[in-house]
């Protein structure tokens, strides 16, 4: 499981359209939207590559000026055993 926080800056006049586009991308959840075009988004995917591809898809949405990853957490679901 990989979770990333992304700050998206959109054209203010297109922020509603951008929010709609983002909610249609699998693994993307919009948490906050401001009138001046800023959106707080999380992305949850199975791998780092899928996170990167999703952030690129966000950046390529019409009306998006920038998409910056501000946080990332990754868990490979493997148990670590200390060496003796």
One DSSP character per residue, 24-84 reads TSTTEEEEEE-TTSEEEEEEEESSHHHHHHHHHHHHTSTTEEEEEEEEEEE----------
Beta-carbon count within 10 A of 36 CB: 9
Domain presence at residue 27:
yes
pTM, two decimals, is 0.85
Structural domains in the chain (count): 1
In a domain, 23, yes or no: yes
Q: Which residue has the tokens 């991308």?
A: 25
Q: Is residue 72 part of a domain?
A: no
Please tell me the predicted confidence (pLDDT) of residue 82.
64
The tens digit of pLDDT for each residue in 27-41 reads 999 999 999 999 999
Q: Residue ranges of the chain with pLDDT lower than 70?
A: 76-84
pLDDT attached to residue 60: 97
Strand partners, 3: 44, 73
Identify whether 55 is part of a domain.
yes
Q: Classify 9 as helix, strand or coil.
A: strand
Q: Which domain range does residue 26 map to?
A: 2-67
């Amino acid at each position: 499981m990989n979770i990333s926080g992304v700050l998206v800056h959109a054209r203010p006049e297109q922020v509603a359209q951008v929010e709609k586009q983002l909610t249609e991308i699998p693994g993307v959840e919009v948490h906050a939207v401001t009138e001046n075009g800023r959106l707080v988004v999380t992305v949850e995917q199975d791998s780092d590559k899928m996170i990167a591809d999703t952030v690129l898809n966000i950046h390529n949405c019409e009306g998006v000026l920038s998409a910056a990853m501000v946080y990332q957490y990754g868990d490979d679901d493997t148990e670590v055993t200390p060496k003796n």
